[in-house]
Amino acid sequence: MKPRPDSPATVLKRLAEARGRQDRLTHSEHLPARAARFAPWPAGLRPEVLAAVAAGGIDRPWTHQAEAANLANLGKHVVIATGTASGKSLAYLAPVLSALLEGTEAANGRGATCLYLSPTKALAADQLRRIGELRAAEDGALQRVRAAAYDGDTPFQQREWVRQYASLVLTNPDMLHRGILPAHARWASFLRALRFVVIDECHTYRGVFGSHVAQVLRRLRRLCARYGGEPVFLLASATSADPAVSAGRLTGLPVTAVTDDGSPRGETVFALWEPPLTELQGEQGAPVRRSATAEAADLLTDLVLDRIRTVAFVRSRRGAELVAVIAQERLTEAAGPETARRVAAYRGGYLPEERRALERALHSGRLLGLAATSALELGVDVAGLDAVLLTGYPGTRAGLWQQAGRAGRAGQGALAVLIARDDPLDTYLVHHPDSLFRQPVEATVLDPDNPHVLAPHLCAAASELPLTDSDLELFGPSTAPLLPQLERRGMLRRRPGGYFWTRRERAADLVDIRGSGGAPVRIVEADTGRLLGTVDAGSAHTAVHTGAIHLHQGSSYRVRELDLEESVALVEAADPPYSTVARDTTSITVLATDRAVAWGDARLCFGSVEVTNQVVSFLKRRLLTGEILGETKLDLPPRTLRTRAVWWCVTDDQLDDAGLLPEELPGAAHAAEHASIGLLPLFATCDRWDIGGVSTPLHPDTGLPTVFVYDGHPGGAGFAERGFQRAREWLGATLDAITACECERGCPSCIQSPKCGNGNEPLDKAGSIRLLRLLLGTGGPEEAASVPAVAKAAVAKAAGSAQSPEPSA
């Protein structure tokens, strides 16, 4: 029998004391254990289904499972938004399988059907396995439920069988958009009998991708109505703010939320951990922190030596491989090769049997340490872990709790450690624990009415069935003005029966729902001609420029050439000791101001802008240390983007009152822009790479010093709007992050940006503090006493140095 592990607090104490690391632990939070709450299954569920569930060891459901199943039986659209390992799958599978079983007994016709949507093929495959286990546990009536996957890997000879005979089809939004809806006539019997649509991990449908999926679902509802179907939507989500509102925006339907989690939880200790500053210097002589990847490898090594079953989440596939390799090397030195073999890496691209082997190794204890990308979140069932390491903030609180929830899933105590990366948001969070532990999980941001998103889906819908006036409400308020525009562009033709698609090409091919518009750029291995994948046109300049290091399923490739005319990036296998980061320059024009509020003499605005962007170079950064090895110039054309932005302006009188000199203003505005971009993901479900910024001491459209933050997607993605709505909190957090940073003149943890096209120059940390204070109305020179001592030193030192008054990007 495996001995009971030490308490999470004891394990954390040993970690912090090992090698003198106490100063790296900035905070620890204790989350008490929670007992399970049970309820009876609702009436209407088939006894065969309940027998199969009981055979798996579940006699009674938790309260939220019973509540969700009851709502589904009543025909209510429902979203289950509870924690990791709370049994959301069973909550929707019980009513779905019961309905499908009833359908198999229909005297004639196909019987009831269900469509299951997941963001990844791996998760769909995992759900198919679970359904198979339930069917195997009850060897009678459940055998009549025919479940099958329908995705890009499904053999063509099998697809016809799925269309004609499957009662439960598991697929993804991409296949629904490109494969099922355009061929709806061949799916008529399935759509006519569609009883349920299950949308798993619905919190991942955010931003532009979520907006596209929302329109795909409206097209699905329209075709179901055409064949006489009216399915009930069942959604599963990580905990989030306003899940009913988010699910309603996604589906276009009124949705009831189930949020009272009845599942048990073991005691959890959540630690915040900041790697130390090193002797290395970055740009402009800024101090560099030890990388989160190297720190995670050390902690994983110590936890494995302590026989603590641990998973370390790392953002990139290459990073996961690095953490595993470093831990294995150190374990070989400390305890021999046998112990080192108990650590492995997990990434996307593994075959199902390889994933299952890793699961079995973790469950049995043969594997003690795993370094994983987020592929582990979606598609692998892991229980019984003792600890989770998060190598950098995942981007949202929902993602944070989902990853942390992987530990303690069998009810035992658990340790979770968030290791800060060297950037403003991570640094802010490890020094402001209330932002993680005292704030609600953020709402999912999406904007289905974005005309850049909606237009191609109206064309796709018209190619499926002519668009009529009755469709206007379904597709939203932007539809009516868009249809005449599409007609003028020759995309649609109006006839008495509605708007028709008249072109030869497939309308569904107009848009990549995971991209930002434009033809995707193919990534091709130069020596073999093998297609590795694609990247959307909007990301190609930064992701696959000549010289870029591209990661594909754990292997790294160097881009030999980016051919924009042919939309292809030719790559070659490479294993350099560095990663690459593109740098760009940006200018911006205000097209329309939709909303504006006065903050004293300052103004905060939200509206439409046109951004001109050009990638000008890329940096090489050493993988483990973050040290900059060099910069290479690029010759790429500028691109224009019409999008949405939030911006703020201050007056010359305010600058005089704050004692901010004209020569200090460019660096102050530039620093405030960088830091605010870094902090916006705390208030909107975005990544800092989803947004951009521009700052200038005199903008021609405002006539004032102005800082812009804009959505990096055509038409906007809702992120800048969320920044406008929560501007005081967002910019207040930005000010806190800058003032709390222990550096003197600025570093990657506060005001430096990895993608700055101006080489992080000019930057003025002290000036940015004064600029944000005057904007927020929290002070001027007389409040200098409230600035931390290190910041005051920076103010004094920087006051005597002049910066060149040039616009920054």
- CB 715 within 8 Å of CB 452: yes
Q: What's the CA gap between 114 and 616, in Å, rounded? A: 50
Q: What tokens were used for 613?
A: 């962007």
Q: What's the CA gap between 571 and 569, in Å, rounded? A: 6
- CB 745 within 8 Å of CB 676: no
- CB 705 within 8 Å of CB 655: yes
Neighbours of 544 (CB within 10 A): 25
User: What is the per-residue pLDDT across 769-778, written as a single tens digit (0 to 9) for each?
Assistant: 999 999 998 5
Residues 6+ apart with CB under 8 A from 17: none
- Hey, which bits of 406-554 come out as E strands? 414-419, 492-495, 498-501, 521-525, 531-535, 549-552
Q: What tokens were used for 754?
A: 């990895």
Residues 6+ apart with CB under 8 A from 12: 25, 28, 269, 271, 415, 417
Q: How far is CA 461 from CA 84, 217, 425, 472, in A?
A: 36, 11, 41, 12
- Hey, which bits of 449-497 come out as E strands? 492-495
Tell me whether residue 681 is exposed, middle or buried, using C-beta atoms within 10 angstroms of its C-beta: 0 to 12, 13 to 18, 19 or more.
Answer: buried
Q: What's the CA gap between 20 and 784, in Å, rounded? A: 35
Give the H or E element holding residue 446.
none
Distance between alpha carbon 523 and the CA centroid of its chain, in Å?
23
Q: Which residue ranges of the chain lie beneath pLDDT 50?
A: 1-3, 107, 378-379, 779-809
- CB 121 within 8 Å of CB 68: no
- CB 313 within 8 Å of CB 376: yes
User: What is the per-residue pLDDT across 733-761, written as a single tens digit (0 to 9) for each?
Assistant: 999 999 988 888 998 899 998 777 777 88
Question: Is 478 in a helix, a strand, or coil?
Answer: coil
**φ/ψ of residue 194, rounded to 5:** -65, 115
Q: What's the CA gap between 576 and 623, in Å, rounded? A: 9
Q: What residues pair up with 631 in beta bridges, in sequence order?
A: 619
Q: What tokens were used for 776?
A: 């927020």
- CB 730 within 8 Å of CB 722: no
Q: Considering only CA atoms, which of 323, 443, 328, 305 is closest in space to residue 392?
A: 323
Q: Considering only CA atoms, which of 385, 339, 338, 346 is closest in space to residue 363?
A: 385
Residue whose token pair is 């179907």? 229
Residue 218, amino acid: R
- CB 734 within 8 Å of CB 773: no
Q: Considering only CA atoms, which of 625, 589, 17, 601 is closest in space to residue 287?
A: 625
Q: What's the CA gap between 448 and 453, in Å, rounded? A: 7
- CB 643 within 8 Å of CB 714: yes
Q: What tokens were used for 172?
A: 């993804």
Q: Considering only CA atoms, which of 311, 325, 422 is closest in space to residue 374?
A: 311
Furthest-apart CA atoms within the chain: distance in Å: 88
Q: What tokens were used for 165?
A: 């005979």
- CB 138 within 8 Å of CB 51: yes
Q: What's the CA gap between 516 and 428, in Å, rounded? A: 30
Q: What's the CA gap between 459 and 652, in Å, rounded? A: 49
Neighbours of 726 (CB within 10 A): 17
C-beta pairs of 529-533 under 8 Å, 24+ apart in sequence:
532/557, 532/571
Q: What tokens were used for 115?
A: 């469509």
- CB 426 within 8 Å of CB 289: no
- For the chain, helix, strand, coil in percent to 5 are 40, 25, 35
Q: What's the CA gap between 206 and 514, in Å, rounded? A: 11
Q: What's the CA gap between 73 and 256, in Å, rounded? A: 13
Tell me whether residue 462 is exposed, middle or buried, using C-beta atoms within 10 angstroms of its C-beta: 0 to 12, 13 to 18, 19 or more.
Answer: buried
Question: What is the DSSP code (8-state) at residue 790?
Answer: H
User: What is the per-residue pLDDT across 605-650, written as a single tens digit (0 to 9) for each?
Assistant: 999 999 998 999 999 988 777 778 899 999 999 999 999 999 999 9
Q: What tokens were used for 307?
A: 């026989």
Per-residue pLDDT at 409: 62
- CB 718 within 8 Å of CB 207: yes
Q: What's the CA gap between 159 and 405, in Å, rounded? A: 37
- Secondary structure string (H, E, C) spanning 120-140: CHHHHHHHHHHHHHHHHHCCC
